[in-house]
Chain A
Amino acid sequence: MAFYVVQFLTGLASAASLFLVASGLSIIFGVTRIVNFAHGAFYMIGAYIAFTLTERLSGAFGFWGSIVLAALAVALIGVIVEMVLLRRIYHAPELFQLLATFGLTLMVEDLVVLIWGPDDLVGRRAPGFKGAIDFFGQNIPSYDLFLIVLGPVVLGILWLLFQRTRWGVLVRAATQDRDMVAALGVNQKWLFTSVFAVGVFLAALGGALQIPRDAVHHAMDLRIIVEVFVVVVIGGLGSIVGAFVAAVLVSELNAFGILIFPKISIILVFLVMAVVLIVRPWGLFGKPEAAARKTPGLTVNPWRPLTSNERLASLAALVIAATLPLFAGNYALTVGSEIAIFVIFAVSLHFLMSVGGLASFGHAAYFGLGAYGIAFLAKMAGLPMIVCLLLGPLLGCLGAAVFGFFAVQLSGVYFAMLTLAFAQIVWSIAFQWVNVTGGDNGILGLWPSSWAASPSHFYWLALGVAALVTIALRAMVFSPFGYALRATRDSLLRSEAIGIDAKRIQWTAFVIAGTTAGIGGALFAYLKGSVFPDNLGISLSVDALVMVLLGGVETVSGAVIGAIVYKALNIWLVSQTDLSKLVLGGFIMLIVVVFPKGIVGMLEMLAQRRRKSSPPGSPLLAKPIESAE
C-alpha cells in the first residue's frame, strides 16, 4: 500500500513542472491565439541557465535566487522573441505560427549544444531539500514534497493575478475579443508582450525547478512539449485550472502506467486522451472554439485543372527526370529516389493540408508506419517485395483510420496538437517496444527484390509511383469528393447545411493522405534497407510541412516543387555543416516571415503582375482577414 502512495506522490511532484509549462502555454494561447511550439525550448533554456547559475552562486540564496533569475532571464529572451518574431505573424494562419515557433525550437536545440555541450548535466540538489522522508519503509524525496506544495501555490497566485488585478482583467478580456480591448484604448502590443513574458517565465521556472530531479539535456524540449500538448488537449486550451487538473492526471497515469504496461506506458495516457476527446472535444475545462480563423487555403484565384500545354510541360518534365539514369551515377540516383519518395510524402500532406484545410503536425507517423509495415511483412512474414509494397502501406492506412477518427473531431490548433501527440505516441511505441520493433536499433536488412535492386531500376520505380500518386491526388482535387472536401475547408457550417457529412469527408481525406504517406514510407524502407523510429519522428513531420510551405500552401503543384527543392537543399546542407538545425530553423522562420506564399505562390504572383498591373488581392500576411459589416 505504502508503495502505491509513494508512487502517487511521485506523480504529483512531476505534475508541478508540467503544470507550470502547460499553464504558460495556455495563457499565451488565450490572448495571442498562438500555440507556442517554442515553449519546450524555453523550458529547456530555463533548466540550462539555472544549471549554470546554481554552479556559480553558492548557498541557499544562491540556489533559489538562481532558479528565479534563470526564469527571469528566459522571460527577457521571450520578450525579445515576441517583439522581433511573433509581432510579425499574429495575423498569419495558425500553421505559420506553429512552424515559426518550431523553427525557433530547432535553432535553440543547436544553440544549447554549442553553449553547454552535448552531454547530460546533473545539477545541484536543492538546499534544505536534500534528504528523503521515510513513509512506512518507502522513501519520498523531500524535494518532491516541496514540488507537490508548489503546484497549488502557483495555481493560487495565477488565480489572484487574473481575478484581482487590472492586468488580469485586461488579459481575460483580450482572450475573448482583442479588437474590442483595443477599441477601449488598451495597447494590445504591450499586453501581448507582457502575457508572453509571463507564459515564458512559467515555462522557464518549470525547467529550472527540474534540475534537482533530472539531468539537463538537449532533447528535453520535445519531450515536455508533447506532454504539454497532451495536457492542454485534455484540460482545455486556455484554462489554467484545466492545465492543473490535466497535469496531475497525466502525471499520475505515467506514474501508474509504468506499473501496468512497463514497456509502453504511454498507451494509458493515449487511451484517456481519446476518451476525453470523445466526451468533451474541447477538453475537460475548455470551451468550444468560436469560428476558427481561415485556414491557409484562402485562394484568391480558385484552383483549376492544368491546361493541355501545362500537361505537356509536366509530362516533359517527367520524361526528362526519367532520363536521369542515362547519365547520372549511383549516388545521384539514390538522392533522386529519395527526392521522389519525399514528393509522395509532401503531396500526401499537401492534400490533407491545402485541400482539406487540416494541417497535420504528425504526418510522419503514417510514413513511418508504412515503412514498419514493410519491415514486418518482409522480415517476419518473408513476403516478396511486390506483395509487401502493396500491403505495407496498409499499416499507414490503419494508423490514419484510428488516429484520424479522433483528430478530425477537432480543428485548427487542436488538430495540429493532437496529430503531433499521436505521432509522438507511435514514435514512443516504436522506440520502447524493443521486442517487436527493435527499438532504437531499428529493423535492418530490408533489400528490394532483384528486379528493383539496381539504383536505376529503383529510381524508375520511385519516380513512377510518385508520378502516379501525384496524378491520382490531383484528380481527386477536381472530383466531387475534392469539391466536398474543399467545401468543408472553406466553411464547415455551410457545407454541413447542404448535406455534406463533413467529419466523414475529412476522415476519408485523412485516411487517403495517411495511406499515401505510407506508400512513400514503404519505398523509403526499401531505399534505406532499414527502418528506425526516426522515420516516424517529429522532425520528419516538420520536414513535410516545410516542403509544402516552401512550395506554397495555396497552390496545387507547390508540394512537388517544395519537396524537390527542400530535400535537395537538406541533403546538401547536412553534408556541409554540423549545425543543420540552426540553419534549417532560421530558414523556416525566414520563409514564414518573408515568403509566406512559397516558391510557386511567388512565381504565380510575379506572372500575374506581369499580365496586369498590380492585382487588388492583398498578401496573406499583410492584414487580418475581415468580414464585411
Chain B
Amino acid sequence: MKLTVQDLNSHYGPAHILFDIGFEVGEGEVVALLGRNGAGKSTTFRSIVGLVAQRSGRIMFEGKDVSAKPTHEIVREGLGYVPEERRIFTDLTVEENLEVGRQPKRPNAPHWTREKLFALFPNLGEMKNRPGGRMSGGEQQMLTIARTLMGNPSLVLLDEPSEGLSPKIVEQMVDAILTMKKEGVSIVVSEQNLHFARLISDRAYIIERGRICFGGTMAELDARPDIRDAHLSL
C-alpha cells in the first residue's frame, strides 16, 4: 500500500473532529474522499500532513510510520499536499511560488520541472512573473497544484480541486489529474462533486461527521444509491 491511515482521531481544542478514520491508497491509484461541507475531509488531510496539532493514530506512508514526524519531514518523504484554500503566496510571482515548492528528485516518483508544469498548465507559462495575488481563482488552483508537484511527490492529497471553478477550468483540471496519474503519482482527492470524482477516481470513501461510512470502487458506490443519497448532497 502507498498510504495507510488507521484510527486517526483529531481535535481542535475541546472539539473532537475525526473519529477512527481509516483508509488505504494503492500504488498509482486515485482515491476519492467524498463528503459534505464540514464532514471532515480537509481535517483528514491536514491531520495526515501534521498540520493539526492534536491528533492520534497511525499513518503509514510507503511502509514508514510518519505520524510522529513534523510537517516538513512528512512532505519530504514524498507526500504532497494541496490545500483547499490554495494558499498561494500572493506577493510572490508564479515562478517564485514554484521555487518555494522545489525539492530534490526522488527515485520512485516522476520528476517535474518548470517546463513540464508549464506544459501541463499552459496558462501558468504565460504569466511567469505575475504576482500570485493578481491571478484568477482557476489560475491559482493550477499554481497550487503545480507548486506541490515541484516537490516531486509520489502521492498527492488534493483538497477539493474543483471548488469554485468554471466548467471549462474543471475540464482542464480533470485532464491535469489524469496526466498526473499517468505519470505514476498516487492521488487522494477530496470532493463534494460526485460527477467530478467519477471522472478521475478508481475507488471512493465517504466521510460523514468525522467518520468513514463507506469504502469501495466507484461501481460499488453506484450500486448503492441509498448510501449516496444519504451522505452526499447531490
Chain B, 47-95, CB within 8 A of any chain A CB:
49, 51-54, 70-73, 75-76, 81, 83, 87, 89-92
In the complex, A624→B52 CA distance in Å?
9
0 or 1 for each of A586-629: is its CB under 8 Å from B? (1 = yes) = 00000000000000000000000000000011100011111111
The answer to the question of B28 belonging to the interface, with a C-beta cut-off of 8 Å to chain A, is: no
The answer to the question of A173 belonging to the interface, with a C-beta cut-off of 8 Å to chain B, is: yes
B92 pairs with A185, CB closer than 8 A: no
The answer to the question of A292 belonging to the interface, with a C-beta cut-off of 8 Å to chain B, is: no
- In the complex, which range does the number of interface residues on chain B fall in? 35 or more
Q: Which residue of B lies closest to A186 (CB)?
A: B72
Most central of A169, A172, A627 by chain B CB within 10 Å: A169
The answer to the question of A184 belonging to the interface, with a C-beta cut-off of 8 Å to chain B, is: yes
A183 pairs with B51, CB closer than 8 A: yes
Most central of A172, A173, A187 by chain B CB within 10 Å: A173
Residue from A176, A618, A622 in contact with B90 in the complex, judged by beta carbons closer than 8 Å: A176
Stretch of B97-105, B120-128, B192-200, B225-233 at the chain-chain interface: B97-105
In the complex, A618→B83 CA distance in Å?
26
In the complex, A338→B11 CA distance in Å?
47
A183 pairs with B53, CB closer than 8 A: no
The answer to the question of B4 belonging to the interface, with a C-beta cut-off of 8 Å to chain A, is: no
Q: Which residue of B lies closest to A627 (CB)?
A: B12
A618 pairs with B54, CB closer than 8 A: yes
B100 pairs with A628, CB closer than 8 A: no
Most central of B89, B97, B101, B103 by chain A CB within 10 Å: B89
In the complex, A618→B75 CA distance in Å?
27
The answer to the question of A179 belonging to the interface, with a C-beta cut-off of 8 Å to chain B, is: yes
In the complex, A627→B38 CA distance in Å?
13
Chain A, 174-225, CB within 8 A of any chain B CB:
175-177, 179-188
Please, which residues of chain B bring their CB within 8 A of the CB of A177? 87, 89
The answer to the question of B15 belonging to the interface, with a C-beta cut-off of 8 Å to chain A, is: yes
The answer to the question of B167 belonging to the interface, with a C-beta cut-off of 8 Å to chain A, is: no
Q: Which residue of B lies closest to A622 (CB)?
A: B53
B92 pairs with A173, CB closer than 8 A: yes
Please, which residues of chain A bring their CB within 8 A of the CB of B12? 626-628
B148 pairs with A184, CB closer than 8 A: yes
Residue from B14, B54, B70, B102 in contact with A182 in the complex, judged by beta carbons closer than 8 Å: B70
The answer to the question of B147 belonging to the interface, with a C-beta cut-off of 8 Å to chain A, is: yes
In the complex, A183→B15 CA distance in Å?
24
A176 pairs with B71, CB closer than 8 A: no
B14 pairs with A176, CB closer than 8 A: no
The answer to the question of B140 belonging to the interface, with a C-beta cut-off of 8 Å to chain A, is: no
Please, which residues of chain A bring their CB within 8 A of the CB of B49? 183
Q: Which residue of B lies closest to A177 (CB)?
A: B87
Please, which residues of chain A bring their CB within 8 A of the CB of B96? 169, 172-173
A188 pairs with B53, CB closer than 8 A: no
In the complex, A121→B56 CA distance in Å?
58
Most central of A172, A175, A185 by chain B CB within 10 Å: A185
B53 pairs with A184, CB closer than 8 A: no
0 or 1 for each of B102-122: is its CB under 8 Å from A? (1 = yes) = 110000000000000000000
B89 pairs with A628, CB closer than 8 A: no
B71 pairs with A628, CB closer than 8 A: no
Please, which residues of chain A bring their CB within 8 A of the CB of B17? 628
0 or 1 for each of A151-173: is its CB under 8 Å from B? (1 = yes) = 00000000000000010011011
Give 9 new A-B contacts, CB below 8 A, not counting A180-B83, A183-B81.
A166-B102, A170-B100, A173-B100, A180-B89, A183-B49, A184-B147, A184-B148, A185-B151, A628-B17
Q: Which residues of A contact B (CB under 8 A)?
A: 166, 169-170, 172-173, 175-177, 179-188, 300, 616-618, 622-629
10 A-B interface contacts by CB (under 8 A): A173-B100, A180-B83, A182-B51, A182-B71, A183-B83, A184-B75, A185-B72, A185-B76, A624-B53, A626-B52
Q: Which residues of B contact A (CB under 8 A)?
A: 11-15, 17, 38, 42-43, 49, 51-54, 70-73, 75-76, 81, 83, 87, 89-92, 96-97, 99-103, 147-148, 151
